Amino acid sequence: MIDFTLKKQAADSNARLGTLKTEYGTFATPMFMPVGTLANVKTLTSLELKELGSAIILANTYHLWLRPGVDVIFAAGGLHKFMNYQGPILTDSGGYQVFSLAKPKDITEEGVKFKSHIDGQQLFLTPEKAIAIQNKLGADIIMSFDECPPFPVSYDYMNDSVARTLRWAQRGKKVHKNEKQALFGIVQGGEFGKLRKYSAIETVKIGFDGYAIGGVSVGEDKKIMYQMIDDCIDYLPKEKIRYLMGVGEPIDILEAVKRGVDIFDCVLPTRLARHANAFTLKGRINLKNAQYQNDFNVLETGCDCYTCQSGYSKAYIRHLFVCNETLGGRLLTIHNLRFLLRLMTDIQKAIAEDKFLTFYNNFIKNYN
């Protein structure tokens, strides 16, 4: 079971400093979780994750349910052993992937019928089944099964959906068997402030070990995302950890930390890396750009990641991408994850030193 301690509440904002203790390790929050969709943070070994300073990773229940199947992972002794990773793991409920990848037509009170995005096989996921699968996978933190409606939907649809997700959360909690695992509830409600508030209050009433805010990545206008956080975060208990799902843009992380969020996950740093994009303090750069052909400098001077420290140049990384060499994506994955993980420890330090807003302003001023 996990143990969250709120160490400090910033004076200049709602930013918080905390500690999360798990069976597989303790880490400070705010923290970012790299995504290991298929029980692997793409291109990296467990050793590299450790060297990067990765504190906790996320794996996807939906993907692992399909491949290799929950029985294989259970037979291996659980997810940690299967993937040879001795750090904390969070599994999502499968809900997000079911709604985004499998695009179900059949959502009932009982659960969701959909087709596998791999072979079209007819599948059925219920709140109970999502918990049962996660119990067998054995992550440190597991998530309630929720509906993630597309954006936008009508108020009436979202109203029904929020009520259904609350009933699903209750059913999931009832069957949660593995006492070693923490179970989180998820706040939904789209861009409707009233529903976000209602969802938060009612989810807290059910009672979970932590609370997530879902369904916030809804397009280009980031103000909507920030508003969604504002609409519900004050109704989440201060002594519990708060998780903003699917957010990994540096500025969005800063905005959410300012509002009181503790943990994040997103495929962004790893996916951008495989598409030749690197984070820098001035913003993203695309290594496929011809301007880097003869640029023999590292991605960012002063960066403490393996890629930059050992001297890999932009020209060389560009060459690897031009030639489809997977080392290119790997070198950028290391850099991008380290960039975000260093950002998180910088944020922690700034909160500890009562300088969060100054840090926030400086970062945003430079980052385009």
Q: Which residues bind its own copies (CB under 8 A)?
A: 38-40, 42-47, 67-68, 72, 75-77, 81-84, 293-294, 296, 306, 310-313, 315-316, 318-320, 322-323, 325-327, 329-331
In whole angstroms, the minimum distance from the beta carbon of 303 to its own copies comes to 15
Judged by beta carbon, residue 235 or residue 306, the one nearer its own copies is 306
In whole angstroms, the minimum distance from the beta carbon of 328 to its own copies comes to 9
Nearest alpha-carbon partner for 2 in 56, 52, 43, 38:
56
- Whole-angstrom Cα distance, residue 183 to residue 1? 9
Judged by beta carbon, residue 219 or residue 302, the one nearer its own copies is 302
In whole angstroms, the minimum distance from the beta carbon of 310 to its own copies comes to 6
- Whole-angstrom Cα distance, residue 87 to residue 26? 9
- Whole-angstrom Cα distance, residue 24 to residue 86? 6
- Whole-angstrom Cα distance, residue 124 to residue 324? 38
- What is the chain's percent helix, strand, coil content, to nearest 5? 45, 20, 40
In whole angstroms, the minimum distance from the beta carbon of 325 to its own copies comes to 5
In whole angstroms, the minimum distance from the beta carbon of 91 to its own copies comes to 16
Judged by beta carbon, residue 240 or residue 330, the one nearer its own copies is 330
Is 156 considered catalytic here? no
Measure Cα distances from 236 to 24, 50, 69, 203, 241 in Å. Answer: 26, 31, 34, 9, 9
Nearest alpha-carbon partner for 137 in 184, 187, 94:
94
In whole angstroms, the minimum distance from the beta carbon of 77 to its own copies comes to 8
Catalytic residue among 140, 146, 209, 265: 265
Nearest alpha-carbon partner for 3 in 133, 140, 134:
140
HSE-CB at 267 with a 13 A cutoff on CA atoms is 12
For CA atoms 320, 325, 331, 333, the dihedral sign is: positive
Is 221 considered catalytic here? no
Judged by beta carbon, residue 75 or residue 364, the one nearer its own copies is 75
Tokens of 57: 């990773």
Judged by beta carbon, residue 49 or residue 350, the one nearer its own copies is 49
Judged by beta carbon, residue 9 or residue 277, the one nearer its own copies is 277
Catalytic residue among 92, 209, 252, 262: 92
| Sheet with 106-107, edge to edge strand ranges | 106-107, 112-115, 122-125
Measure Cα distances from 261 to 6, 32, 75, 156 in Å. Answer: 12, 11, 36, 28
- Whole-angstrom Cα distance, residue 366 to residue 280? 10
In whole angstroms, the minimum distance from the beta carbon of 286 to its own copies comes to 17
Judged by beta carbon, residue 322 or residue 364, the one nearer its own copies is 322
Tokens of 39: 């029980």
Contact assessment for residue 181 and residue 80, using Cβ atoms and an 8 Å cutoff: no
**Active site amino acids:** 92, 265
